[in-house]
Amino acid sequence: MKCNRLFYFIPFRAWLFCLGIFTPSPLPAAPQLLDRIVAVAEEDVILASELMRQVGAIKRQIGASGSRLPPDQVLRRQVLERMILHRLQLQLAQRQGIQIDDETLRQALLDLARRNQMDLDSFRRAIENEGMNYAQFVDDLRTELMLNRLRASQVNAQIQVSDREVAHFLETEGQTASSKGGEYHLGHILIATPAAASPEKIQQAQQKAQQIVAELEQGLDFHQTAIGMSDGAQALKGGDLGWRKREAIPTLFADIVPDMEKGDIRGPIRSPSGFHIIKLIDAKGTDTTHMVTESHVRHILVKTNEIIDDEEARRRLKLLAERIRKGENFSALAQAYSEDTGSAAKGGELGWITPDAVVPPFAAAMNELEEGELSDPVQTPFGWHLIQVLERKTRDDTLEYRKKRARQILTQRKVEEETELWLRKLRAEAYVEVNLDE
């Protein structure tokens, strides 16, 4: 398995922050090279060795993608700025007492392993086979989860989407699909302006963005330009925003992108963050009808504790399954033995449910069952389950699906926009000193 294939399935940036201090070995009859501070970020410092380690990792990543590397001084500046923002967020999280407990970390690792279609041991071996230290990988994941929780508390918790916004979205955007494609692969470059920027600073940023647009239209490589020039969050990925449905495009570009042809460049587009340049890399159509499969389900739950371990829980459920297959009444056994008190009183009944209404392991087991079939014991974070599907039906869920998706999309748009502003405010208000020789 190639490294780029593995990390295609891993939606987080933790492995880019494997930091350490490197002291070159002394050469005979020559002075030792001393490390130095290249940046101060509030209470923390960034050493030249740390920066070079990160730059090396980014160079390998860019090289593996087949893209041409920007000049070293440009790459160092970009990477250093990302490191500064990372340190500032980490300090804020620590001041607020944000921590990730071992169980949360374990569940995150299990989720990553499942996304790669592996168990945890296989996932660990895959990480080590890629030349990474697994303990460092886990530590970086804990840090990234902590920063995600920080951003959720600082930004996500403040985001609200009203029913009126959802209705307006469906009327103006959600019900229509462009004849040029329902999904768009976008590239993005941001030339940022500082908070409360002077008219002169704004004009300078605008002129810089206009010059970049002109050069891009003359054939300058967008991917490399984003790496070297963009202040956006995806700069080191060449400004790649990935595939997005029309309704998931940032509000600022929502009315522009559907009228673009493949390869078109648009900008500069003004926003509170600065001046944006976008490129339509590709577009494709989409199906606007959404069908949902519902299952009429009942279950028996056995929880683990100090007395009942996993093996004992499985044994108890296997005995119950054997009794049910021999003709005993499922409902009576659920009432007597299930530890899900809400459903036990109803004979284990969960009613009609969709896969997204339950945790993934339960949904996966449920989806594999035929009507009337009884599952083997299934483990979820809640304990061990015996599951039975009584009936199945498929219905058109398009309207409800669109409403749900509209709320998610509007929320994500606001989160992206507010996160960008929050990070710039955090950077602007912090004490930062940069000593980077160009």
Number of structural domains in the chain: 3
Task: Let me know whether 338 and 354 are in one domain.
Answer: yes
Helical segments of 22-160, H only: 48-64, 72-95, 102-115, 120-129, 134-154
Q: Which residues contact 356 (CB under 8 A, 6 or more apart)?
A: 363
| CATH number for 109 | 1.10.4030.10
Indicate if 356 and 376 belong to the same structural domain: yes
Q: Domain containing 422: what range?
A: 163-288+400-432
230 assigned to some structural domain? yes
* 298 and 225 in a common domain: no
pTM above threshold 0.85? no
In a domain, 346, yes or no: yes
What single DSSP character describes residue 165? H
Burial status of residue 390 (CB atoms within 10 A of its CB: 0-12, 13-18, 19 or more):
middle
Are residues 311 and 414 both part of a single domain? Answer: no
Is the domain of 211 the same as that of 281?
A: yes
> How do the pLDDT tens digits run along the chain, 438 residues long?
333 333 333 333 333 333 333 333 344 444 445 689 999 999 899 999 999 998 988 888 887 777 778 888 888 898 999 999 999 999 999 999 999 999 899 889 988 888 888 888 889 998 898 888 899 999 999 999 999 999 999 998 889 999 999 998 888 765 544 434 478 999 999 998 887 788 898 999 999 999 999 999 888 889 989 998 999 888 888 899 988 887 778 888 888 888 888 899 999 999 888 999 999 998 886 555 778 899 999 999 999 999 999 999 999 999 999 999 999 999 999 999 999 999 999 999 999 999 989 998 999 999 999 999 999 999 999 999 999 999 999 988 888 888 888 898 889 888 888 898 899 899 999 999 998 875
Distances (CA, A) of 196 to 200, 204, 376, 425, 428: 11, 14, 62, 10, 10
Are 267 and 298 in the same domain?
A: no
- Tokens 């967020």 -> residue: 89
User: CA quadruple 327, 329, 333, 334: dihedral positive or negative?
Assistant: positive
One-letter identity of residue 259: D
Residue 438, domain member (yes or no)? no
CATH number of residue 215's parent domain? 3.10.50.40
Count of other CB atoms within 10 angstroms of residue 394:
9
Lookup: tokens for 303: 């929880």
Q: Is 34 helix (H, G, I), strand (E, B) or coil?
A: coil
Same domain, 308 and 380: yes
Say if residues 384 and 338 touch (Cβ distance below 8 Å): no
> Are residues 386 and 298 both part of a single domain?
yes
Which tokens go with 64?
């593996």
Q: How many CA atoms lie within 13 A of 49 on its CB side?
A: 10
